[in-house]
């Protein structure tokens, strides 16, 4: 079976690695260059989206910010999963909020801001503190502003107004600031028959708005049930096919949806070593009409992102339960270059191995890891 992935980054790369044992061939479409490339070697295989769609059995995506003409062409083929509606919702916070409302899923109270009057109304209606997020093209903490004090409002509006002036399609979603205890996520899959499989709830730690560590351990039954109910509501509302990620805030034992990602997700990379069927294979199974696989946690696992570094100390490879995954990228500050997965027989052993890893990694390149290690008791 042939699958065309919109996007030629690390997620397409890992789909290709996961698909090979199932005889699923992956090609990737670079939306910026119109080139069809091999996701592992980046060798150019051709150009032109129309022919690539015709040659593929299934079309899917590794990211949300896809030009609308590309989405429309893929949707018209009848081969595109999870589909245009889901991808648009993942790439536009306005549509995302509408989706969550329609699905009856809790999220932060919000107000759409298109002009100064909307800005003032958001402050009056929602109160302070507020978080303002760009409706389009916001990711990894980019395109966000915080308003804590009334006297900061005028200056903040000038920044937002200048941002809005750069793109007539852009808008701002103002949200109540959520004083959360933890950031969590749930990765799951739904197939065309409506069958669902979800992985364990994952705890995430961010540094400067970018995911640093994801931790998957057993024992969050109450949160797992809440997250599964919300996942089911959103996936069914979209008639979703594929892997879907939902990010949550935990507030006093209750979950609020932060955002959705209609694709395989950074916080699910631990599934490569912590589950029988990883999220990349699971996505391919769903979109290709194959049976969904087990999502059970086989062993406690965690993932550490490698950001802006193209080397790591070689001694880490001697650590038991450690797997290193590079993305084949050129080094750039802050860029996601790879990740490290660590697994163990139980939580105590996972903490021990994580601390051994932390001791070998330079703190300047891997800050705040000990904060997550302290979560392992």
Q: Are residues 76 and 120 in the same domain?
A: no
Q: Are residues 169 and 213 in the same domain?
A: no
pLDDT tens column, 108-162: 999 999 999 999 999 999 999 999 999 997 665 668 999 999 999 999 999 999 9
Domain C-terminal end among 176, 205, 235: 176
Within a domain: residue 124? yes
Please give the residue range of the domain that contains residue 21: 2-80
Radius of gyration of the chain from Cα atoms?
21
Q: Are residues 170 and 192 in the same domain?
A: no
Residue 137: its pLDDT value, please?
79
Which CATH number goes with the domain that contains 28? 3.40.50.20
Within a domain: residue 92? no
- Under-70 pLDDT residues of the chain: 138-142
Q: Are residues 205 and 168 in the same domain?
A: no
CA distance 287 to 73: 18
In what helix (H) or strand (E) does residue 72 lie, and over which residues does it extend? helix 68-76
Domains held by the chain: number: 3
Q: Are residues 72 and 131 in the same domain?
A: no
Residue 160: its pLDDT value, please?
96
Within a domain: residue 96? no
Neighbours of 152 (CB within 10 A): 13
Within a domain: residue 104? no
Phi, psi of 62 (to 5 degrees): -110, -5
Q: Are residues 308 and 328 in the same domain?
A: yes
Q: Are residues 224 and 358 in the same domain?
A: yes
Which CATH number goes with the domain that contains 136? 3.30.1490.20
Q: Are residues 39 and 163 in the same domain?
A: no
Phi, psi of 256 (to 5 degrees): -120, 135
């Amino acid at each position: 079976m042939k699958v065309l992935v919109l996007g030629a980054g690390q997620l397409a790369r890992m789909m290709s690695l996961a698909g090979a044992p199932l005889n699923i061939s992956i090609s990737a479409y670079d939306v910026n260059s119109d080139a069809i490339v091999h996701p592992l070697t980046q060798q150019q295989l051709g150009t032109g989206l129309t022919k690539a769609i015709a040659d593929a059995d299934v079309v899917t995506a590794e990211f949300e910010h896809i030009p609308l003409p590309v989405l429309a062409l893929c949707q018209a083929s009848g081969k595109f999963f999870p589909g245009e509606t889901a991808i648009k919702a993942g790439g536009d916070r306005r549509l995302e909020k509408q989706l969550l409302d329609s699905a009856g899923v809790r999220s932060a109270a919000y107000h759409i801001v298109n002009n100064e009057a909307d800005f003032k109304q958001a402050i009056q209606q929602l109160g302070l503190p507020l978080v303002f997020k760009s409706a389009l093209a916001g990711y990894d903490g980019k395109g966000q502003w915080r308003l804590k004090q009334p006297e900061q409002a005028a200056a903040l509006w000038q920044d937002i107004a200048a941002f809005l002036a750069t793109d007539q399609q852009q808008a701002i979603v103002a949200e109540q600031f959520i004083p959360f205890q933890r950031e969590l996520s749930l990765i799951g899959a739904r197939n065309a028959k409506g069958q669902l499989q979800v992985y364990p709830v994952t705890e995430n730690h961010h540094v400067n708005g970018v995911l640093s560590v994801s931790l998957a351990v057993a024992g969050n039954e109450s949160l797992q049930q809440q997250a599964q109910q919300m996942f089911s509501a959103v996936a069914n509302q979209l008639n979703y096919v594929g892997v879907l990620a939902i990010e949550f805030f935990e507030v006093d034992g209750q979950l609020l949806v932060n955002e959705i990602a209609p694709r395989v997700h950074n916080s699910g990379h631990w599934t490569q070593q912590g589950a029988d069927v990883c999220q990349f294979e699971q996505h391919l199974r769903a979109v290709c009409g194959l049976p969904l696989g087990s999502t059970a946690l086989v062993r406690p696992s965690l993932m550490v992102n490698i950001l802006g570094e193209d080397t790591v100390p070689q001694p880490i490879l001697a650590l038991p339960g450690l797997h290193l995954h590079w993305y084949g990228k050129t080094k750039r500050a802050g860029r996601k270059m790879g990740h490290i997965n660590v697994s163990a027989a139980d939580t105590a052993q996972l903490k021990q191995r994580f601390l051994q890893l932390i001791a070998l990694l330079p703190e300047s390149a891997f800050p705040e890891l000990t904060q997550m290690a302290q979560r392992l008791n």
